[in-house]
Amino acid sequence: MEGLNIPLNHILLVSSLLFSIGMLGLMIRRNIIFILMSLEVMLNSAALAFVAAGAHWGQPDGQVIFMLILTVAAAEVAVGLGLVLQVQRRFKTLDMDSANRMRG
C-alpha cells in the first residue's frame, strides 16, 4: 500500500482521545450549543475509528458506515438546533441546568 503508513493503534488512540474529550465536554459544559458540539466530536471520533478499521482490513464497510454516521449527525444537528431555538425562546437561556424542569 502506497503513501503514509500510520499504524492502526495510533489512529485508534486519537479516536479514543477525541471520544473522551467529547464526553468530558458533554459532562461538564452547561451551554446546549457546546453540548451539541461535544456530541459531534464524539460521533466523528467513532467515524474515524470506522474509517481506520476499514483501511486496515482493506474493506469498504468502514467508509459505508462513515457515510451513515455523517447522515445521522446531520439529522441530529437539525433536530438539536431546532430544540436549541425553542429552549432559547421559552427560557431565555441556553443553560441546561436552569432549563431543567424535571424533578426526580
Q: Which residues bind other proteins (CB under 8 A)?
A: 23, 26-28, 35, 96-97, 100-104
Nearer to other proteins, 3 or 58 (CB): 58
Least separation in angstroms between residue 51's CB and other proteins is: 19
Cell representation of residue 34: 457546546
**Minimum CB separation from other proteins for residue 104, in Å?**
3
Residue 20 or 70 having the CB closest to other proteins: 20
Report residue 84 CA to chain centroid gap: 17
Q: How far is the CB of 101 from other proteins (least distance, A)?
A: 7
**Residues 92-99: contacts with CB under 8 Å, at least 24 apart:** 94/31, 94/32, 94/33, 95/30, 95/31, 96/30, 96/31, 96/32, 96/35, 97/30
Complex with other proteins: residue 8 or 68, whichever CB lies closer: 8
